[in-house]
Amino acid sequence: MTSSAAPLPDARLIDLQATFALTRSEAEVALAMVRGASLRQIAEARGVSINTVRNQVKSAMAKTATRRQIDLVLVVDRRMRG
């Protein structure tokens, strides 16, 4: 049986979205950063411009009260380790 429905969201994404009021895109970008992807790699994988990813990172940083990208990565990583 085949379904055309989109896959269910990852529990980690839902948690990040609920905890920090992130959009799905912001949460996906933050998780990719935790996994070690560069902003350029994230942009290429998502099919968007680097500026779009930068804006998503800035927004995620504002919502998590972080000032540096490494701080965003640390906050998200800590949350994922729970």
Determine the residue type at 21.
A
pLDDT digits (tens, 9 = 90+) for 13-66: 999 999 999 999 999 999 999 999 999 999 999 999 999 999 999 999 999 999
How far apart are the C-alpha atoms of 49 and 8, rounded to whole Å?
26
Model confidence at 2, pLDDT cuts 50, 70, 90, reads very low
Please give the model's pTM, rounded to 2 decimal places.
Answer: 0.87
How far apart are alpha carbons 47 and 45 in whole angstroms? 6
Give the class (CATH, top level) of 11-81. mainly alpha
Q: What is the DSSP letter of 64?
A: T
pLDDT, position 3: 45
Amino acid symbol at 24: R
Of 39 and 8, more confident = 39
> How far apart are the C-alpha atoms of 46 and 74, rounded to whole Å?
22
CA dihedral defined by 55, 24, 77, 38, rounded to 10 degrees? -40
Q: Where are the domains of the chain?
A: 11-81
pLDDT above 70 for 79: yes
